[in-house]
Every structure is written in C-alpha cells, then in structure tokens.
C-alpha cells in the first residue's frame, strides 16, 4: 500500500511537464528520493536527494551543452557563459517558478523547513537541487530523450540568436 507521500508524488508527476501515469514502483522510489530533502532524512531516516542530485547535475549540464552546441553557432566562450547561466541554481529555481511547477509543495522536508501552517519553506538552492535529482530519476527511469524534453520545456525556453555573437578576431 502506498504512503500519502508516494500518492502525492504520483499526483505531482501526472502534471506538466512530466505527464507520467502508471509510474513503476522502482521509478516512483527514485522520484520520492528526488523530492526528499536531507532535513527530512535527518529526522526520519531514509535517503535524501543528494546522490541523485550528483548525477542530475551532470545530466543537466550535458543536456544544456548539447543543445547550445547543436542549436547555435556560438563560440566556446559564449557557449560556456550560456551553460553557466542555464545551470545556475538561481536560474533553475526561477524557471521552475515561472513554469508554475509546484515543486515546493511536492518536496518532503524536516520540521525546520515548515511554516506554522504546514507549508514548506523551500529556498532556491533546495528547489534547484531537487530538480537536478528529478532529472537523474527521469534519466534512470525513462532515458536521455525524456530528460531532453523536460529540460527543453522547463529550463531552455530560449536560445540566444547567433547574430548576437561577434565574429572571432581571426575571421576578419
């Protein structure tokens, strides 16, 4: 029998950008872990999102690098700047909020991250770290193409115009 948290994670995953229905038990366990902050595990045991975040950080960076390489003609320095902007915690957090994803409400946190009304207190680093862990769970459960789709929909809403890049000095 599923816990209330597992049921809430299933509901969260049923909405955009995920739209996942009938999530297998193994994948659900990964998504539950991806939505569990260490403040919760410090109080109740279990696994937090930290291991998944480690993998998700790299999966996200690769996805952004691949997109900027494939979809623009930017030079290396501008590509690096673009990637750094897209994978910065404040930018990930900003895009999640702009998208309208209720990641904050879906997360499981300890008592120190709860308001008196029971709502979660989530900062931008927690939000971004959990999203990276979710990307790892997507990668492990559904593959890289699905990661690309979610990253594109939530985090890569625009790519820079190639005309914005000055020609290299040696091209003159």
**Active-site residue (options: 6, 47, 50, 57):** 57
First to last CA, the chain: 68
User: In sequence order, what are the beta bridge partners of 39?
Assistant: none
User: In sequence order, what are the beta bridge partners of 120?
Assistant: 114
Q: What share of the chain is helix, strand, coil (3-state, %, to 5)?
A: 65, 0, 30
In order of 2, 37, 153, 159, 162, the CA distances from 60 in angstroms are: 30, 19, 13, 16, 22
Q: Using an 8 Å Cβ cutoff, are 56 and 68 in contact?
A: no
Can you read off the two tokens belonging to residue 158?
Answer: 């625009």
Active-site annotation holds for 164: no
Active-site annotation holds for 132: yes
Q: Mapped to the 3 state alphabet, what secondary structure does 92-132 carry?
A: HHHHHHHHCCCHHHHCECCHHHECCCCCECCCHHHHHHHHH
Could you give the residue numbers annotated as active site? Answer: 57, 132
């Amino acid at each position: 029998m599923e816990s209330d948290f597992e049921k809430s994670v299933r509901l969260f995953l049923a909405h955009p950008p995920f739209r996942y229905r009938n999530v297998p038990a193994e994948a659900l366990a990964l998504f539950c872990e991806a939505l569990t902050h260490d403040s919760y595990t410090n109080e109740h045991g279990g696994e937090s999102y930290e291991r998944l975040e480690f993998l998700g950080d790299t999966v996200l960076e690769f996805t952004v690098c691949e997109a900027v390489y494939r979809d623009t003609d930017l030079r290396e320095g501008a590509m690096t700047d673009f990637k750094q902007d897209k994978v910065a915690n404040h930018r990930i957090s900003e895009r999640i909020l702009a998208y309208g994803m209720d990641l904050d409400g879906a997360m499981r946190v300890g008592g120190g991250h709860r308001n008196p009304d029971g709502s979660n207190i989530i900062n931008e680093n927690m939000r971004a770290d959990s999203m990276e862990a979710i990307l790892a769970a997507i990668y492990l459960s559904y593959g890289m193409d699905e990661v690309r789709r979610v990253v594109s929909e939530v985090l890569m809403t625009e790519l820079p115009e190639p005309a914005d890049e000055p020609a290299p000095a040696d091209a003159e």
